[in-house]
Chains A and B, each alone.
Chain A
Amino acid sequence: MMRTIIECRNIRKTYRTGNEDTVVLKGISFLINEGEFVAIMGPSGSGKSTLMHILGALDTPTGGEYFLDGRNIATFTDDELADIRREKIGFVFQAFNLLPRATVLRNVSLPLVYAGVEKEKREKIAEAALDDSAFPKAFWRHHSNQLSGGMMQRVAIARALVNDPALILADEPTGNLDSKTGEMVLHTFQSLNASRGKTVVLITHEPYVAEHAGRIIHILDGTIVSDKKNDARRIARKTDDEAHETH
């Protein structure tokens, strides 16, 4: 039996804007085991990002309980949550969120800076992570604002990998990319999941992207409408000159 890494028990999230309460998540419950590749799919505004922030210990639910690796997130201080994020989770955002004036290597090794790893060791690990995300060596010392969108996202993926996290959370990682580079990114996630055993949670509003996961959780207006194993899983190709295929 696989170990449970994520456990949501009736999670609710309410935002208060002015005098009005907006209920964004209305009781979400599911389990994710180690090694799964799960897509959370839903239209814009359905609460996907809100859910991802909770899963990533960036935010706390206003109702229900969230267990990450068996630990109730509500019991930790902000600084302890920072430690948990650094050790367990790699984030990939739609907007990449790189430091624009820092080099690629510096961006990738930033989580290790906060882990207190020494510079030499840090750069070795960062270089390995850049290789894993298929980032070309020639650009390692470039500033990140000199890169194309696809390259930036690969830097962001490498950054998510440097701490060797068990869980990768990606919020619309292909949203700002063309279909070819999107394919590359999806391929990277699939191979990290298949050969490195990383648990991947991929958030998207595109059914096509979600179909690359092994399981699809469909949310609508803050509730889960379906949670199914994906039998027609798409496999992304590494080379960007060939079309994708299904099996």
Chain B
Amino acid sequence: MKPIDLFEETYGAVIVNKVRSGLTMLGIVIGIASVIAMVAIGQGAQGSIQSSIQSIGSNLIIIMPGASRSIGSTVSAGRGSAETLTPDDAAAIAALPNVAAVAQEVSGRYQVLSNGQNTNTTILGTTSAYPAVRNVQVDQGNFITDADVAVSNRVAVIGPTVLQDLFGSTTATATPAMALDATIRIKGVDFKVVGVTLSKGGSGFNNQDDMIYVPLSAAQHYLLGTSAYLTEVDVEASSEGAMAGVQAAITNLLLSRHNISDPTQADFNVLNQADIVAAASSVTNTFTMLLASIAGISLLVGGIGIMNMMLTTVTERTREIGLRKAIGAKKKDITLQFLSEAVMLTFTGGAAGIVLGWLAAFLVTYFSGTATSVSLGSVILAFGVSAAIGIIFGYYPARRAAGLSPIEALRYE
């Protein structure tokens, strides 16, 4: 039997029972569509988290105080909770080779008043290196200068979210010009707005749009009331290749400055972007796997539907099978005929499912704004899986058909 004839037979048989074929296919369509959509949502989430981590800065190494803990818990709880990092530490780090820039940070959340409106946001005391190290750009005005830090000037640079919260209203969008030179009151102390940063998008993690930057020294004097400790030191390495060396050098330097001989007892954490990306990826990977396996179950149900229909078909066409055998069809011919019927159903269903899944992912992005990403890999995988389901679930019915004796089949009423 030639492949073209096999295809013709198969097509004819599938098309004869349009409704039944269609309904059976629907199981596969839904299964494949949900796999495609779920994986797209998972990968989209992963992509957007990764890109928001990349936007924090390039070649960035972050040093935080706190006992050595797992990355996840340090990010949320360790911040500022321990008092081990000092401006002197930061200065010593800046002197290390391959360190391009060092920004010091202290932070806290305070109520901010201006223009008769108020908000509660993060106040970040930092130094002039911050925009370069953390990838922040000033839209209008200028960032905090070394001179501001030196003399504790009460100046502030605000993020676009803060700008809108303090100077805008529900009906009007605030422009940077409205804020420049205005006075805002943080924890009862007046600061003059000297700059507004450009929006970075992004949310969660540390949202750099919803922040007020003030000189490090001003934050320490007027807001925190302490000048000894930092909540974070950001270091930019001179190149990506130098990251590992710089990270090791910082660890050694701080261990010796803090008089700690056992590295496991370190009172600080040195993280690089790759660590953060890896931690976030493992979370989103788990999330993607979970979604994909839920979708996989619906695919399995679709496969069982295929098997059920094929078994019915074989029973209904017992006489036809007997006749085909009588006129010279071999076991292989009959097996192939029914197997290719199953594969045609799942493959067509798979193709429709890919289109539907793609559409679903598109609609999710369109209406909710959540990033989704349909990768070529998942499309190829979906095709492969749908063909495999046809073969796996079609095999038993096909073998059953091929195993019928021609006599029994011809006698069958």
Q: A residues near B, CB below 8 A?
A: 53, 56, 58-59, 78-79, 82-83, 85-87, 91, 93, 97, 99, 101-102, 110-111, 113-116, 118-119, 159, 163
Contacts and interface: CB of A to CB of B under 8 A. Distances in A.
Which 10 pairs from chain A and chain B are nearest by CB? Answer: A86-B328, A111-B327, A114-B328, A79-B330, A97-B323, A82-B330, A58-B406, A59-B407, A113-B5, A114-B329
A15 to B, nearest CB: 11
B302 to A, nearest CB: 26
A86 B2 contact: no
Contacts of B320: 99
B326 A114 contact: no
B332 interface: yes
14 contacts: A56-B326, A58-B410, A78-B331, A82-B329, A82-B330, A83-B328, A85-B327, A86-B327, A87-B328, A97-B326, A101-B12, A101-B16, A110-B324, A114-B333
Interface in B376-413: 405-407, 410
Given A79-B332, A97-B319, A116-B1, A91 B12 contact: no
B325 interface: yes
B246 to A, nearest CB: 71
Interface of B: 1-2, 4-5, 9, 12, 16, 319-320, 322-333, 405-407, 410
A102 B327 contact: no
Nearest to A102: B12
Contacts of B4: 119
A62 to B, nearest CB: 13
Given A58-B410, A114-B324, A119-B4, 9 more contacts: A82-B328, A85-B327, A113-B1, A113-B2, A113-B5, A114-B328, A114-B330, A116-B2, A163-B328
A87 B330 CA distance: 13
Nearest to B406: A58
A116 B322 CA distance: 19
Contacts of A83: 328, 330
A58 B407 contact: yes
A79 B326 contact: no
A85 B323 CA distance: 12
A10 B76 CA distance: 92
Contacts of A56: 326
A3 to B, nearest CB: 23
A11 to B, nearest CB: 15
Contacts of B326: 56, 58, 85, 91, 97
B237 to A, nearest CB: 69
A59 to B, nearest CB: 5
A93 B326 CA distance: 11
B259 to A, nearest CB: 85
Contacts of A159: 327
Contacts of A82: 325, 328-330
Nearest to B13: A101
Nearest to A100: B320
A192 B16 CA distance: 36
A93 to B, nearest CB: 7
Contacts of A79: 330-332
B309 to A, nearest CB: 18
Nearest to B15: A101
A79 B334 CA distance: 11
A97 B410 contact: yes
A91 B4 CA distance: 26
Contacts of A58: 325-326, 406-407, 410
A144 to B, nearest CB: 12
Contact of A115 (B322, B328, B406, B410): B328
Q: B327, B329, B330: which has the most chain A beta carbons within 10 Å?
A: B327
A83 B330 CA distance: 8
Nearest to A96: B323
Nearest to B9: A113
A85 B331 CA distance: 14
A127 to B, nearest CB: 18
B412 to A, nearest CB: 11
A58 B321 CA distance: 13
A111 B332 contact: no
Contacts of B12: 101-102
A185 B287 CA distance: 72
A93 B327 CA distance: 12
Nearest to B327: A111
B410 to A, nearest CB: 7
B51 to A, nearest CB: 56
A93 B4 CA distance: 29
A83 B407 CA distance: 16
A124 to B, nearest CB: 16
Nearest to B319: A97
A87 B16 CA distance: 30
Contacts of B322: 97
Nearest to B2: A116
Contacts of A97: 319, 322-323, 326, 410
A86 B326 CA distance: 8
Contacts of B407: 53, 58-59
A91 B332 contact: no
A78 B410 CA distance: 16
A99 B321 CA distance: 10
A159 B332 CA distance: 22
Contacts of B410: 58, 93, 97
Given A58-B407, A79-B332, A99-B320, A110 B327 contact: yes
A101 B331 CA distance: 23
Contact of B327 (A53, A91, A116): A91
Nearest to A111: B327
B225 to A, nearest CB: 90
Contact of B1 (A59, A93, A114): A114
Nearest to A109: B5
